[in-house]
Amino acid sequence: MGPEGTPVLITIEGIDGSGKSTLLSSLGELLADLDPLFTREPGATWVGASVRRAIAERMDPITEALLFCADHAAHIEGVIRPALDAGRLVISDRYSDSRFAYQPVVLDGVLPDPLQWLRQIHEGWSIRPDRTFLLVLPVEDAVARLDPAKQREYFENAGILERVQENYLDLAARDPARFVIVDALLKKDEVAEFIAGEIRTSARSSQSRPRA
Ligand code: TYD
């Protein structure tokens, strides 16, 4: 068991440029006493390298989506489940909602109902997060924050990110008990302290529950 009770899975979501990286490093300091396991998608296992290659080479969208799902499966079995079983608090930078928000934009016109297809792929083995923090901000502010020196993934354009953010907000509206929407334009310290406080509360009040 974790220091405060049962293990908890927290996920952090938001469009590119929403400030997740800065937030994650602040949470590392603010929550150090809880000894959380920080992890991420894609790329917590070697499967992530094939995902990045598929994005860079613009593989067909079905291949790309399935690689993101494979990365998730490897992440769950290799990192998330063992940590939860060991009683750790787990905080993941991106998780299934990234698939549910990004891939429907890429799969639009390729499949009749991309979101339903993606949900079915996850069913029966994925682990539902206990809490998901969604960083929201105007897309133009997010794009302005992207590092111009870094090569951009093709997702990182305003038109796509606008639709990705709409998808995120729909997901949040359908699952208000899990999602916490956070204004990413607030001061960085304020965002980090608010989320750290909420994570502490979740870690304290969690109950044992089936995880499949
Ligand atoms: P990320 O590693 O967060 O971005 P960065 O390279 O800037 O650190 O994620 C890479 C990109 O992949 C990002 O644009 C979001 C996208 N993505 C998906 O489209 N689907 C997914 O399931 C995940 C996890 C990420």
Spell out the residues 6+ positions from residue 57 whose beta carbon is closer than 8 angstroms to its own.
none
Q: Calculate the average pLDDT of the chain.
A: 93
Residue nearest to atom 17 of ligand 1 (CA): 98
Which residues in 27-65 are b (16+ Cβ under 10 Å) and which e? beebbeebebbbbbbbbbbebbeebeebbeeebebeebb
Mutate which of 15, 16, 145 for ligand 1? The one with the most ligand atoms within 8 Å of its CB, which is 16
Is residue 135 within 8 Å of residue 18, measured between CB atoms?
A: yes
Percent of the chain with pLDDT over 70: 95
Q: Taking CB atoms and a 6 Å cutoff, what residues make up the pocket around ligand 1?
A: 16, 41-42, 68, 94, 98-99, 102-103, 153, 155-156
Tokens coding 152: 């951009």
Atom of ligand 1 nearest to the CA of 43: 2
Would you call 24 helix, strand, or coil by DSSP? helix
Q: Identify the pLDDT of residue 79.
A: 97
**What is 8-205's CATH superfamily?**
P-loop containing nucleotide triphosphate hydrolases (3.40.50.300)
Q: Which ligand 1 atom sits closest to the C-alpha of 21?
A: 8
Please tell me the distance between residue 69's alpha carbon and the centre of ligand 1 in angstroms.
12
Cα 42 to ligand 1 centroid, rounded to whole Å: 6
Q: How many Å apart are CA 212 and CA 193, to the nearest integer? A: 31
- Of the chain, the end-to-end C-alpha distance in Å amounts to 18
* Residue 147 pLDDT class (50, 70, 90 cuts): confident
Query: Looking at per-residue confidence, does 45 or 66 come out higher?
Result: 66
Higher pLDDT among residues 131 and 204, named by residue: 131
Closest Cα to atom 4, ligand 1: which residue? 16
The total of other beta-carbon atoms located within 10 Å of residue 196's CB is 17
> Whose Cα sits closest to atom 2 in ligand 1?
42
From 132, 155, 162, 167, select the one nearest 52 (Cα to Cα). Answer: 155
Domain boundaries, the chain: 8-205
